Amino acid sequence: MTKLTALLLANFTVPENIGVNPQSMLWLLPLVASIAVVYKATKVPKIKAVGFIRESAVLFGSIVVFMVVTALVLCAMAWLITE
């Protein structure tokens, strides 16, 4: 038990190995999910499982779509300026 606890705590003292590549951008997805869930928890007067999950999913999708659109617009602008 002590070894297991020590092993668990040790995981928090050494950073994970995450490369600088396009796939590392996917780390934003869990963060966006967390933001959507907490924000909705502060907004809805009553929490009912199905409705809450649906509303959080809609907000999650909205944020992701907005970020993708923003990224595409910035890419297009960069391409227009540099070409």
Partner 1 sequence: MAQRSREGHVVFLLVVGLLAWLVPGAGHVMLGKKKHAAVIFVAIVLTFGAGLYIGSIGVINPIGAKPWYVAQVMNTPAVAALGQMTKTGNYPVYGRPNEIGQIYTSIAGLLNLLCIVNAVYLAHLSKDEDVGD
Query: To the nearest whole angstrom, how small is the minimum distance from the Cβ of residue 58 to partner 1?
Result: 16
Residue 32 and residue 60 in contact, taking contact as beta carbons nearer than 8 Å: yes
37 vs 31: CA distance, rounded Å: 10
Query: To the nearest whole angstrom, how small is the minimum distance from the Cβ of residue 22 to partner 1?
Result: 12
1 vs 9: CA distance, rounded Å: 12
User: Could you say whether residue 27 binds partner 1 (CB under 8 A)?
Assistant: yes
User: Could you say whether residue 13 binds partner 1 (CB under 8 A)?
Assistant: yes
Which residues of this protein are in contact with partner 1, per CB under 8 A? Answer: 11-20, 24, 27, 30-31, 34-35, 37-39, 41-42, 46-47, 52
